[in-house]
Structure 1
């Protein structure tokens, strides 16, 4: 996620953590426990498909909503996104309204305190 997208989501009252590769994201997810994860498929070290599978295997992430962010818009990738646990797919350049739609959709499932 570009820094400007992270800043914009933060400015709307959401807590955001940014990781620059798969291992860093797994480390942050262990303590941060996000509700939504936007995963770039073209991450270095570990691609977003592998990261999605690993996050999906973490018991602490059972309610995590994952969105693939990628330049791959072709239909042949749709099945692979689904197999790796992604519930949404955003094609670059990402429309900020698409990001907020996923955040808002996830927020509907979080009980109010």
Structure 2
């Protein structure tokens, strides 16, 4: 597993290998997670993460980008379910 703190790091990581799943926080510095997901959508299954339960409405408009969304903190059961369906 690799972890990025910002958009440039995420793009470098994805260029270095082909991930099956990318967990993307929709609230990131420099570029939000939705914009990053649009760049990565052909490379991996994209899962949106947010700490704000009220953000789900925003994500529903971006269903074409994200396959699902999870509310932080993530539970291991939620993450396992996402990984089993990838």
**Structure 2-normalised TM-score?**
0.86
1:96 deviation in Å?
1.6
Instruction: Extract unaligned runs of 5+ from structure 1.
Output: 1-15, 107-113
Higher helix share: 1
* Residues matched between the structures, number: 85
Structure 1 residue ranges, 4+ long, deviating more than 4 angstroms after superposition? none
RMSD of aligned alpha carbons: 1.5
1:101 deviation in Å?
1.1
| Larger radius of gyration between Structure 1 and Structure 2 | 1
Greater relative contact order: 1 or 2 (C-alpha under 8 angstroms, separation 6 or more)? Answer: 2
1:54 deviation in Å?
0.8
Instruction: Extract unaligned runs of 5+ from structure 2.
Output: none
**1:81–1:89 Cα contact (<8 Å) kept:** no
**Structure 1-normalised TM-score?**
0.68
